[in-house]
């Protein structure tokens, strides 16, 4: 069934269900066939409702939890992989709104107020995660109103939501690269198989040769095309995934840093500390203190 393919690009998702509407609302469970490394011409506003896991946006790897909210721009590859038990099913994992540049290009000459959204849409080309708790709470309510409404009412709730997000100052830009990939319908199978295999095995030593052999590819060829697909070389991709896991462990509990190191897939503490400092600009212990401080401030504010 699967045609030979090269691991060069994420798959292109063609949304043929616009049906003349300005925006598309959808919600997904997990597992789901649409959960894969892919891109499309539409912007995607993506609210996680249930489960936690890893988010991949362009060359960014991070963590998501319930009430995480992301905005990705046109042709920016992305994927959310939930960490659940093998037989677990999440009925409603996320709520999504998709829309295109054409909506604003057509409407701005008539509704000049829409020009205030331009900086938000420009930032979305790198991917955005919104962090402000107040903004997230309001956004969740507006997403539900979008889900429950149709026609002009749905469009109105959508524009109010974008105005809210445009005014949010507590956000993180995600991907260093915003360049659209080359569309190749045959590339998705090996790309997804590689990322899925790495995601399942990064907690132990994982040589590039093992993944290449799993895919039936020569290591040098796999190395080159994997970087084309993800924007990172293999070792850097795996290390970023491990550091992301370590951040999750540091935030969740009081495990010793040494235990976090090995549970994240690193085989020695000095390498772990060096990689963590490179990617996060601080030591693991400092990161934990900042997370605790932030949570304390949020609880006091609530």
**237 token code pair:** 């991709």
pLDDT band at 9 (very low <50, low <70, confident <90, very high): very low
Of the candidates 129, 145, 173, which is a domain's last residue? Answer: 173
Q: Among the three residues 135, 150, 173, which one is the final residue of a domain in this structure?
A: 173
Q: Based on the fold, state whether residues 166 and 207 are members of the same structural domain.
A: no
> Which of 149, 173, 197 finishes a domain?
173
Residues 116 and 213 both lie in one domain: no
- Examine residue 116 and state whether it is found in any structural domain, yes or no: yes
Asked if residue 199 and residue 83 are part of one domain, the reply reads: no
CA distance 48 to 62: 14
Summarize the confidence of residues 105-118 as an average pLDDT: 92
Q: How many CB atoms lie within 10 A of CB 187?
A: 23
In a domain, 6, yes or no: no
Structure tokens at 67: 């009430």
Give the position of tokens 């304390």: 296
Residue 3 has pLDDT above 50, yes or no: no
Q: Are residues 128 and 244 in the same domain?
A: no
The candidate with the shortest Cα–Cα distance to 57, out of 281, 103, 44, is: 44
Residue 259 lies in a domain: yes
Do 100 and 164 lie in a common domain? yes
Residues 104 and 156 in one domain: yes
Confidence grade of residue 8 (pLDDT, cut at 50, 70, 90): very low
Structural domain total, the chain = 2
* Whether residue 253 has pLDDT greater than 60: yes
Residue 2 lies in a domain: no
Determine the pLDDT at residue 291.
82
Mean pLDDT of the chain: 86
* One domain for residues 126 and 195: no
> Which pLDDT belongs to residue 179?
55
Whether 1 is covered by a domain: the verdict is no
**Rounded CA separation 274/246 (Å):** 13
pLDDT 10s digits, 199-222: 889 999 999 999 999 999 999 998
Lowest mean pLDDT among 133-137, 181-185, 193-197: 181-185
Q: Give residue 199's pLDDT.
A: 87
Phi, psi at 155, each rounded to 5°: -60, -40
Residue 4 belongs to some domain of the structure: no
Give the CATH number, domain containing residue 204: 1.10.10.60
What is the pLDDT, as a whole number, of residue 10? 56
Query: Do residues 100 and 40 touch, judged by C-beta distance below 8 A?
Result: no
Here the CATH number for the domain that contains residue 118 is 2.60.120.280
Residues 140 and 199 both lie in one domain = no
Asked if residue 200 and residue 159 are part of one domain, the reply reads no
| Residue 150 sits in the same domain as residue 194 | no
Asked whether residue 181 is domain-assigned, the answer is no
* Mean per-residue pLDDT, 138-164: 97
Which residue matches tokens 């994997």? 226
**Averaged over 99-113, what is the pLDDT?**
91
Instruction: Taking residues 235-240, report their average pLDDT.
Output: 92
Do 20 and 48 sit in the same domain of this protein?
Answer: yes
Q: Are residues 165 and 246 in the same domain?
A: no
For residue 217, the enclosing domain spans: 188-296
User: Does residue 183 lie within any of the structural domains?
Assistant: no
297 compared with 156, residue with greater pLDDT: 156
- Dihedral, CA atoms, 152, 156, 161, 164, nearest 10 degrees? 170
Reading across the β-sheet that carries 43-48, which strands appear in turn?
Answer: 24-30, 90-99, 43-48, 69-72, 128-130, 171-173
């Amino acid at each position: 069934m699967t045609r030979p393919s090269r691991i060069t690009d994420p798959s292109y998702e063609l949304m043929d269900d616009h049906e003349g509407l300005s925006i598309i609302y959808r919600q997904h469970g997990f597992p789901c066939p649409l959960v894969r490394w892919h891109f499309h011409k539409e912007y995607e506003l993506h609210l996680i409702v249930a489960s936690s896991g890893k988010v991949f946006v362009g060359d960014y790897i991070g963590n998501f939890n319930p009430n995480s909210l992301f905005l990705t721009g046109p042709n920016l590859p992305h994927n959310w992989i939930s960490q659940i038990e093998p037989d677990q099913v999440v009925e409603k994992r996320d709520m999504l709104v998709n829309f295109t540049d054409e909506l604003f290009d057509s409407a701005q000459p008539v509704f000049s107020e829409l020009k205030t959204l331009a900086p938000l849409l420009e930032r979305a080309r790198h991917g955005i995660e919104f962090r402000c708790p107040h903004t997230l709470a309001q956004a969740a309510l507006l997403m539900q109103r979008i889900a429950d409404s149709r026609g002009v009412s749905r469009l109105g709730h959508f524009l109010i939501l974008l105005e809210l997000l445009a005014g949010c100052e507590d956000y993180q830009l995600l991907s260093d690269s915003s360049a659209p990939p080359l569309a190749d319908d045959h590339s998705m199978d090996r790309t997804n198989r590689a990322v899925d295999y790495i995601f399942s095995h990064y907690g132990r030593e994982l040589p590039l040769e093992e993944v290449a052999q799993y895919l039936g590819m020569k290591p040098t060829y796999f190395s080159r095309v994997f970087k084309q697909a993800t924007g990172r070389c293999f070792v850097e991709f795996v290390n970023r995934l491990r550091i992301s896991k370590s951040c999750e462990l540091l935030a969740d509990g009081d495990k010793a840093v040494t235990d976090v190191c090995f549970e994240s897939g690193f085989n020695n503490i000095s390498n772990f500390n060096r990689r963590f400092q490179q990617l996060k600009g601080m030591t693991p212990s400092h990161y934990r203190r900042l997370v605790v401080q932030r949570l304390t401030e949020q609880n006091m504010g609530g």
